[in-house]
Amino acid sequence: MHCTRCEGTGFLNLHQVGQHALSLFVDSGDPQIILRWIDANTDHDVTVCDCCGDGEQWYGEPGQHDSNNPHDPMGCR
């Protein structure tokens, strides 16, 4: 199920990511691009979504909810 809080991206405040990294992420869908950007930059509030993840890691696939995963909270589905 698609996470509505992060609009399926797996990240919150994604609008703060630099344009180059954001373009690479959109083109590839690889969340590691944004995770590397987060590690390399300090003046932002970009995090792993706290609805489909815990703010640091996802419960399953980024931006998705898994009804079979007991760690994935029901509140955002």
What are the structure tokens assigned to 8, written together?
Answer: 């399926």
How many independent structural domains does the chain possess?
A: 1
Nearest CA to 17 out of 4, 6, 5 is that of 6
Pair of tokens at residue 69: 């995963």
**DSSP for residue 29:** -
**Per-residue confidence band for 66, with pLDDT thresholds at 50, 70 and 90:** confident
Q: Is residue 1 part of a domain?
A: no
Give the predicted TM-score (pTM) of the model: 0.85
Question: What is the rounded distance in angstroms from the CA atom of residue 44 to the CA atom of residue 69?
Answer: 30
In a domain, 5, yes or no: no
Residue 25 located in a structural domain: yes
DSSP 56: S
CA pair distance 11, 30, nearest whole angstrom:
12
Is 20 among the domain residues? yes
Could you tell me the residue range of the domain that residue 19 belongs to?
Answer: 11-76
Q: How much is the pLDDT for 76? A: 56
pLDDT in tens, 33-45: 999 999 999 999 9
Distance CA 33, CA 11 (A): 12
Does 34 reside within a domain? yes
